[in-house]
Amino acid sequence: MLMRSEPFTEVNRLAQQLFGGPATGTWSHPTAMPADAYRNGDEFVIVFDLPGVERDSIDIDIERNVLTVRAERRPVNLGENVQATLTERPLGVFSRQMFLGDALDTDRIEATYHNGVLALRIPIAERAKPRKISIGGDAVGEQKVLAG
């Protein structure tokens, strides 16, 4: 169902853990977001971890079976006299693209966001669901053709 994901997601995640972001705690380029994908009956589910992201900063687009999720984690306003002593949580834009297979009905995607987890539910297209094929014709008549 999921054709492929960004090939360098794990490399990017490791580099961020090793080298961190700029000293201000913001990112100058889109950062990947962790995701899980699985089939649940007649739907395909993709969940993204977006802790600390406001619902209104999430943007979901689909174009030609390419799913793009972008979100922004903004700094918390703590007041004018606050001095940070530790800033490990990345801020800025997070982005993820996934290529979806033709077996999914991308016209009927549903999205929910709860406790920092974005869940996308994509129905399996009717044409991709397993179905029974009936056999037509007369078995006796077909034997005559083969014997004749």
Tens of pLDDT, residues 81-99: 888 788 788 888 989 999 9
pLDDT value at position 24? 40
Domain 1-17+31-74+90-127, CATH class in plain words: mainly beta
Q: At a CB cut-off of 8 Å and minimum separation 6, what does 107 contact?
A: none
Give me the mean pLDDT over the 21-34 stretch.
Answer: 53
Query: What pLDDT, in 10s, does the model give residues 37-50?
Result: 999 999 999 999 99
Task: Say what the pTM is.
Answer: 0.67
Examine the pLDDT at 28 and tell me if it is beyond 50: no
Q: How far apart are CA 30 and CA 94, in angstroms?
A: 5
